[in-house]
């Protein structure tokens, strides 16, 4: 299979420390360059980027990456060439892996690379493999089953509930695991209405002037058994008084903090102490062996209709022919421009 001789690539200008990210203009943290496309190494593959996953966690990589390094991101690529030692993938396969903000990318696959089709048609829409059946869904699955050890009949609060992980947590907890009550926190009336349609017993807008009062009313005097936190910051602080003593908190993300120099209210630690709360941070890296079980279960519950993957679960941005729009699209995560998973489509 022939392939182009050059590729557009975004590289990092300088490390991104505390404070906001500049994605355009003369002060942008990113530079659009053109690089030669080279054949893969004996242990590598060459892919055409088909779709990119836009994740808040990219912000953390940007704090430690080397300057002039291609911006890393998870995505789906179509294999154009393989090195002589590569056995896991073949030309024409669609693979999911940590790739880059690039049109074409030659690299050595990670141990977690997944071949999505293996020469067969995909069972579900391509975007599903970046969202509900990708790391977003896997994170929701792990947080509920392994970190919170969530049981039928328990109650749950979910922050960032309209995001790529949050909406899966809401649906999976209510529709599959049998939660007695799911309280979702999101940033608009429209998002709250969608969540109440797809599993939340009550959805609360954190931008409301009455947010603390509305959250307390939703939780009730008994409080919640568990809290799946995707945002940190002031929302995290507001939830703590609404937890039952000895309740469990899964720390999944901190999107409210990634671009901020501010720190938490120290009083939160006192609430954790007095309520004897269990606060547990986690990442998918701790549970990589669980992915096959997750994939099998979630494929089944999607097909059964218990997990909705239609409208509202993803925001797909068509960047075919507009590769320069990659950084701005990613930045939309931090301004609430997405419902569910934010995906950039780069090629057919």
Residues 175-193 as b/e (b if ≥16 CB within 10 A, e otherwise) read: bbbebebbbbbbbeeebbe
DSSP 57-92: THHHHTTTPPTTPBPEEEEEEEEEEE-TT--S--TT
Q: What would the pLDDT profile of 256-311 be if each residue is shown by its tens digit?
A: 555 555 555 668 888 999 999 999 999 998 999 999 999 999 999 999 999 999 99
Owner of token pair 């995001």: 163
Helix axes 135-142, 291-304, angle to 10 degrees: 100
Give every CB contact of residue 213 below 8 A, 6+ residues apart in sequence: none
Does domain 6-131+313-345 fall into CATH 3.90.180.10?
yes
**Burial level of 240, CB count in 10 A (0-12/13-18/19+)?**
buried
CATH topology of domain 135-284: Rossmann fold (3.40.50)
* Per-residue model confidence as pLDDT tens for the chain (348 residues): 678 899 999 998 876 765 677 888 888 889 999 999 999 999 999 999 999 999 988 877 776 666 678 999 999 999 999 999 999 999 999 999 999 999 999 999 988 899 998 778 898 999 999 999 999 999 999 999 999 999 999 999 999 999 999 999 999 999 999 999 999 999 999 999 999 999 999 999 999 999 999 999 999 999 999 999 999 889 999 999 999 999 999 999 776 555 555 555 668 888 999 999 999 999 998 999 999 999 999 999 999 999 999 998 999 999 999 999 999 999 998 888 888 899 999 999
Q: Provide the CA 37 distance to its chain's centre, in angstroms.
A: 29
For residue 346, what pLDDT is reported?
98
pLDDT at 100: 96
Across the chain, the runs of DSSP E, i.e. the strands, are 6-12, 30-36, 45-54, 72-82, 94-100, 104-107, 114-115, 155-158, 181-186, 202-205, 224-229, 243-251, 278-281, 314-318, 341-345
pTM (global) more than 0.85: yes
Please tell me the predicted confidence (pLDDT) of residue 24: 82
228-260 per-position pLDDT tens digit: 999 988 999 999 999 999 999 999 977 655 555
Identify the pLDDT of residue 25: 83
8 Å CB contact between 240 and 272: yes
Domain locations in the chain? 6-131+313-345, 135-284
């Amino acid at each position: 299979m022939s392939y182009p001789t050059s590729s557009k690539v975004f590289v990092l200008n300088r490390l991104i420390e505390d404070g906001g990210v500049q994605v355009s203009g003369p002060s942008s943290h990113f530079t659009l360059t053109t690089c030669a496309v080279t054949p893969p190494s004996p242990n590598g593959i060459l892919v055409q980027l088909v779709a990119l996953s836009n994740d808040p966690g990219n912000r953390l990589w940007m704090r430690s990456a080397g300057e002039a390094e291609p911006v890393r991101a998870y995505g789906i690529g179509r294999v154009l060439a393989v090195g002589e030692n590569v056995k896991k993938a073949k030309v024409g396969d669609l693979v999911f892996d940590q790739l880059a903000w690039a049109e074409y990318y030659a690299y050595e696959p990670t141990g977690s690379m997944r071949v999505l089709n293996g020469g067969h048609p995909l069972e579900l829409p391509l975007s599903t493999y970046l969202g509900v059946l990708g790391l977003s869904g896997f994170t929701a699955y792990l947080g509920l089953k392994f970190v919170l050890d969530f049981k039928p009949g328990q109650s749950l609060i979910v922050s960032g509930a309209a995001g790529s992980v949050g909406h899966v947590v809401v649906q999976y907890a209510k529709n599959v695991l049998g939660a007695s009550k799911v309280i979702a926190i999101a940033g608009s009336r429209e998002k709250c209405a969608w969540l109440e349609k797809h599993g939340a017993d009550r959805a609360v807008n954190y931008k409301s002037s009455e947010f603390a009062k509305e959250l307390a009313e939703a939780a009730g005097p008994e409080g919640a058994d568990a809290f799946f936190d995707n945002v940190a910051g002031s929302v995290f602080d507001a939830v703590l008084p609404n937890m039952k003593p000895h309740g469990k908190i899964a720390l999944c993300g901190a999107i409210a903090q990634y671009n901020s120099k501010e720190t938490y209210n120290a009083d939160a630690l006192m609430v954790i102490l007095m309520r004897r709360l269990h606060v547990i941070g986690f990442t998918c890296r701790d549970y990589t062996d669980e992915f096959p079980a997750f994939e099998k279960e979630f494929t089944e519950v999607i097909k059964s209709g218990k997990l909705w993957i239609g409208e509202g679960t993803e925001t797909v941005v068509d960047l075919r022919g507009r590769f320069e729009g990659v950084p701005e699209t990613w930045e939309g995560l931090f301004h609430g421009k997405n419902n569910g998973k934010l995906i950039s489509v780069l090629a057919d």
